[in-house]
Chain A
Amino acid sequence: MSDKKQLTYLESVHFHGRIWGIILAVLILLFPVVIMVVFNTKPQFEPLVKGMLATAPMYWAVGIIEIFTYVPMLGAGGTYLSFVTGNISNLKLPCALDAMERAGVKASSEEGEVISTIAIAVSSIVTTLIILIGVICIVPLTPILESPVLEPAFNMILPALFGGLAVVFVSKNLKLSIAPIILMLVLFIFVPALNEGTVGIMVPVGVVFTLIVARIMYKKGML
């Protein structure tokens, strides 16, 4: 008879999620090592440390904030999958949001946890298959993908994606959406440093600001 403890769904998600997370971290860190070995080269220590110190702390901060921002939206299983496969804000989160919306479940519920995980898993599989097809067909597809006619369409994925999503969520929470949208419009229009590269940093800012506004409006009976 086996003494192995039967894991619950969530325990199993955390167990396997941590294993895959560690494997991914090792694989990512192995990449520069493999490059060094294959090309028989190594970086100079001083510029490497200087460069790391200039850039890494920002990514540590963003990484930590992203965890706290995305976990309540994606659930445990969805979070592990998203952080292993990447493209959270432009692929995984919209997929999870739309799937939960279609299924009529809340992100914080057990049903939401399952739906979000399935949506992100399907999104990851589809993305991987499309990348596979893309790699195999890269030669015949290159003229199409680099076509000057289609280039504007590929540059506008995020506005097209969030235009549709905004209609769904703003129409359902009209009063609550006014303050964060005005804040972000003012910031992005009048602060030149804010652009496509910094939008990821502004997501946690938007979330925290909206939560504060929501709490105040809720306490005042406005929601």
Chain B
Amino acid sequence: MKDKKWGDIFNNAMFLGMISAFLGYVFCDVGDIFKGSTAGLIPVCVMATSAVIMAVCGLISKKLKVRWITDYALPLSLVGGMASAIPYTSWLG
């Protein structure tokens, strides 16, 4: 691609488009809350927990200069998010 800046934006846009579809999917059962079911909030809470773990890993890496943690940030947020589904389900499910 001749325009390097547009090339970078193009790549980021593709990734964001893909991620936005999955973020939307996480909210697909949220409307059930109006029918009295809070189970649709479970994936939203799981996603939020996973996002917080990822953000905390990023902060630790930046502020405390613990670079190796970034290599494990995605697995940590994935496993942490999945584990959080257990208490969320017993609470909201």
Contact = CB atoms under 8 A, between A and B. Distances in A.
Interface string A154-179: 11111111111111111011001100
Contacts of A97: 15
A99 to B, nearest CB: 10
Contact of A162 (B22, B49, B89): B22
Contacts of A164: 50-51, 53-54, 73-74, 77-78, 81
Using C-beta atoms within 8 Å of the partner chain, give the interface range for chain A: 35 or more
A19 to B, nearest CB: 28
Contacts of B43: 156, 158-159
B36 interface: no
B19 interface: yes
A13 interface: no
A60 interface: no
A200 to B, nearest CB: 8
Interface string A183-223: 11101111010111001001101111111011000100001
A166 B78 CA distance: 12
A107 interface: yes
A207 B14 contact: yes
A69 B21 CA distance: 13
Given A108-B1, A108-B7, A195 B77 contact: no
Contacts of B8: 106
Given A153-B82, A160-B78, A203 B17 contact: yes
Interface of B: 1, 5-31, 42-44, 46-51, 53-55, 58, 70-71, 73-74, 77-86, 88-89, 93
Given A153-B86, A167-B58, A211-B10, 6 more contacts: A162-B19, A162-B26, A164-B50, A188-B27, A194-B25, A202-B21
24 contacts: A69-B18, A155-B85, A156-B81, A156-B85, A158-B25, A159-B50, A162-B26, A162-B47, A163-B48, A163-B51, A163-B54, A163-B77, A164-B51, A165-B74, A168-B54, A188-B28, A189-B31, A199-B22, A199-B24, A199-B25, A202-B21, A206-B17, A210-B14, A218-B9
